[in-house]
């Protein structure tokens, strides 16, 4: 240990520096997984390593805790690898170049991997302790490839885990106790395209919705701003009621979990007057959207311009089905939680709108902290697909971590926080996915809380871990373990 040797808690930062010296980007976790196995062997601890590289290490309870219920401590061992343009590090073969300035730990030119290396370091420091920490039996669970789809947690076998109390150290805001997260899925709808050549439709215009704020469909869906693709659908529906149009091309977002900031469609028409009508309707909706979204999307606007004459366009039937689908698809916040104030419980984001070689493709991110509502929303999309004669599928489904109204662990952690810091922790849920949902699905009656020290600008080369927050969180973990007798 060189760079972090003067930081406290010493054991936590010692293990964190060792972890940072080993390449462990998502998809490249074999070496860090084997490091954990070697650690278990050196400390004569029970362990299991599976084919993916997930590792479980167990340690008996200390004196006086022999009959206490086991506690699971969990974090993921992969990190997001991002670097500055002028950084020459090779993430596949090199460790990180750690630095500290007395306030923060960071890595020179790269992400730090505090998400979630600090969880691994906490667990290892507890597992390596030789009697100074009072604790029940510990079952430390280290998962791979969380950052690319919760893959390790999805595959891990939990049959030899006995614990029902689950400490997930994968949160980045000290003093915030996460107690629920959304489950989700990616859904896709495809309308087969059919082209024709009709010389009567020899004029074309582009209609574009632009200037929407956009954002992450989990974190920022609660702002209830404009989805540019859905807004485009409203304009096209109004146009189609007054003008005979044919769809030529379209675009509206490239990621299912990002709220589209702009969307456009090129339309073929048969008469100059049609363009005048479309222009009038576009101006009408430009004013409507400016009023509807004045608080969330101040720069939103709808534009129209003539484009080059086209020879080929989609059939009237395909055009109609496309516009109908855009109008029928639900979007945005579907339901707010009745248990946690301000929490989005269920949402849907139309994130992708594109033409492939054979289809018009709609891509959705579906989220809910109530599994039955997620299933209902997916079924809703399936019904829309059937109504417009489209194909439909669901991929990458993961379960919700539902709010537990009666949580022993949450109560202990709240009371411990009050005693240590003389203030209330923030107890909240997030409208995004955590590994807690997958473990709650695998282990009956699991009682979970997710928390951690302050980490800023995660997944960017500006990522930094607050040193004092690590020490406070470490003391908090030790006090919680002491109380779980």
Which of the 8 DSSP states describes residue 294?
A: T
Mean pLDDT of 11-22: 98
Domain boundaries, the chain: 10-182+401-483, 184-398
Q: Which tokens belong to 51?
A: 């084919």
pLDDT at 261: 92
Taking 70 as the threshold, does the pLDDT of residue 139 lie above it? yes
Give residue-wise pLDDT tens across range 21-80.
Answer: 999 999 999 999 999 999 999 999 999 999 999 999 999 999 999 999 999 999 999 998
CATH H-level, domain 10-182+401-483: superfamily: Zn peptidases (3.40.630.10)
Catalytic residue among 146, 147, 274, 435: 146
pLDDT at 407: 97
CB contact set of 327 (below 8 Å; sequence gap of 6+): 233, 234, 237
CA 326, CA 48: separation in Å to the nearest integer?
49
Fold of 184-398: Alpha-Beta Plaits (3.30.70)
pLDDT at 107: 97
Q: Sheet with 71-76: list strands edge to edge.
A: 46-49, 55-59, 138-143, 71-76, 165-168, 447-450, 176-181, 426-430
Q: What is the pTM of this model?
A: 0.76
Based on the residue annotation, tell me whether 146 is a catalytic residue of this protein.
Answer: yes
Q: Alpha-carbon torsion 304, 309, 311, 316, what sign?
A: positive
Taking 70 as the threshold, does the pLDDT of residue 469 lie above it? yes
Helices assigned H by DSSP within 156-227: none
Taking 60 as the threshold, does the pLDDT of residue 1 lie above it? no
In this prediction, residue 315 has a pLDDT band, given cuts at 50, 70 and 90, of: very high
Mean pLDDT of 330-358: 92
Give residue-wise pLDDT tens across range 361-414.
Answer: 999 999 998 889 999 999 999 999 999 999 999 987 888 898 898 999 999 999
Catalytic residue among 78, 297, 373, 435: 78
Check residues 402 and 245 and name the one with the higher pLDDT.
245
The closest alpha carbon to 365, from 354, 374, 376, belongs to: 374
Rounded to the nearest integer, the mean pLDDT of the chain is 95
In this prediction, residue 147 has a pLDDT band, given cuts at 50, 70 and 90, of: confident
User: In b/e form, how buried is each residue of 326-348, taking b as 16+ CB within 10 angstroms?
Assistant: beebbbbbbeebeebeebbbbbb
CB contact set of 430 (below 8 Å; sequence gap of 6+): 178, 180, 181, 182, 218, 219
């Amino acid at each position: 240990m060189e760079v972090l040797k003067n930081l406290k808690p010493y054991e936590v930062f010692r293990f964190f520096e060792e972890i940072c010296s080993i390449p462990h980007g998502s998809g490249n976790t074999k070496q860090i997984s084997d490091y954990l196995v070697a650690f278990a062997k050196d400390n004569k601890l029970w362990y299991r390593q599976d084919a993916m590289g997930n590792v479980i290490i167990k340690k008996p309870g200390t004196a006086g805790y022999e009959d206490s219920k086991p506690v699971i401590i969990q974090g993921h061992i992969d990190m997001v690898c991002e670097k500055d343009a002028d950084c020459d590090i090779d993430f596949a073969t090199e460790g990180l170049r750690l630095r500290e300035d007395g306030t923060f730990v960071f890595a020179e030119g790269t992400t730090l991997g505090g998400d979630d290396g600090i969880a691994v370091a906490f667990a290892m420091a507890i597992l390596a302790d030789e009697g100074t920490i009072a604790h029940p039996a510990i079952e430390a669970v280290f998962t791979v490839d969380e950052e690319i789809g919760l893959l390790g947690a999805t595959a891990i076998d939990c049959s030899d885990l006995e614990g029902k109390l689950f400490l997930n150290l994968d949160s980045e805001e000290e003093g915030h106790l996460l107690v629920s997260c959304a489950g989700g899925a990616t859904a896709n709808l495809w309308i087969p395209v059919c082209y024709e050549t009709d010389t009567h439709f020899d004029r074309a215009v582009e209609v574009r919705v632009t200037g929407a704020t956009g954002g992450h469909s989990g974190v920022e869906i609660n702002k209830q701003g404009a989805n540019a693709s859905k807004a485009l659908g409203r304009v096209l529906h109004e146009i189609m009621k007054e003008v005979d149009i044919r769809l030529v091309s379209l675009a509206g977002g490239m990621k299912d979990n990002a709220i589209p900031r702009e969307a456009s469609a090129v339309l073929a028409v048969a008469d100059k007057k049609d363009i005048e009508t479309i222009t009038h309707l576009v101006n009408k909706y430009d004013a409507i959207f400016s009023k509807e979204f004045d608080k969330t999307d101040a720069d939103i606007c709808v534009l129209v311009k003539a484009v080059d004459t086209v020879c080929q366009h989609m059939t009237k039937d395909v055009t109609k089905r496309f516009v109908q689908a855009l109008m029928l698809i639900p979007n945005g916040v579907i339901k707010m939680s009745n248990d946690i104030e301000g929490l989005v419980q269920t949402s849907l984001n139309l994130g992708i709108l594109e033409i492939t070689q054979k289809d018009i493709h709609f891509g959705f991110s579906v989220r809910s902290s109530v599994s039955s509502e997620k299933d209902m929303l997916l079924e809703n999309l399936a019904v829309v697909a059937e109504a417009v004669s489209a194909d439909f599928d669901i991929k990458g489904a993961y379960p919700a971590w539902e709010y537990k109204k009666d949580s022993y662990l949450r109560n202990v952690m709240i009371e411990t926080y009050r005693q240590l810091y003389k203030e209330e922790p923030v107890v909240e849920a997030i409208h995004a996915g955590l590994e807690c949902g997958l473990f709650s699905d695998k282990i009956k009656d699991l009682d979970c809380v997710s928390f951690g020290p302050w980490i800023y600008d995660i997944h960017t080369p500006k990522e930094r871990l607050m040193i004092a927050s690590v020490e406070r969180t470490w003391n908090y973990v030790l006090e919680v373990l002491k109380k779980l007798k």
